[in-house]
Structure 1
Amino acid sequence: MHLKTKDGKYLVDVKRVNGYPDAFEREGAAYFEQFPFLITKTIEKRGGHFKYSPRNSVHVEVDNRFITGQNYLSSKSVALKIIEQLEQK
């Protein structure tokens, strides 16, 4: 999220990125205070396009070699997409 490429742009710049969105978090919960950043806002501020599906659903975004999943339910699909990418090389 905070990584930059050789040309100084954020790694997520103009990429479709998926994850567990800020909208699904409980802002009043004690754990929320421990977050160092909010993923949706930070990705968008860095030029990325944050995508997500309804809570508890599988969602994977593939943007070239950039592969992200929304939650633990997406793990298998993310792994299969990674394997697919590796087999294409």
Structure 2
Amino acid sequence: MEKFTDTFAEITRPLTKIACTMFVAFLVGGISCCFASEPTALEREQARIQWIAEHGQYQPNLTEPAKQEVLVYTEQKQAEINRTWSKQ
């Protein structure tokens, strides 16, 4: 009758290979899922055009520094929203 350590030594290598294979598969799948959900530049441009068509181009009476400030603020808020959604 074989000892437990002999049986364990025989099983360890295949189990390690299976675990590594599963880890790599989940890693690749997770990374591809993250990039698949990111909109392309064309999709972002189409969304921007659609927004302008529906709501107009920002506020027409803003000065150039005010426009820049609004864009920076919008980017910050969008980053906060993205972080919140990525945690869920």
More strand by percentage? 1
Larger radius of gyration, structure 1 or 2?
2
TM-score relative to the length of structure 1: 0.27
More helix by percentage? 2
TM-score relative to the length of structure 2: 0.28
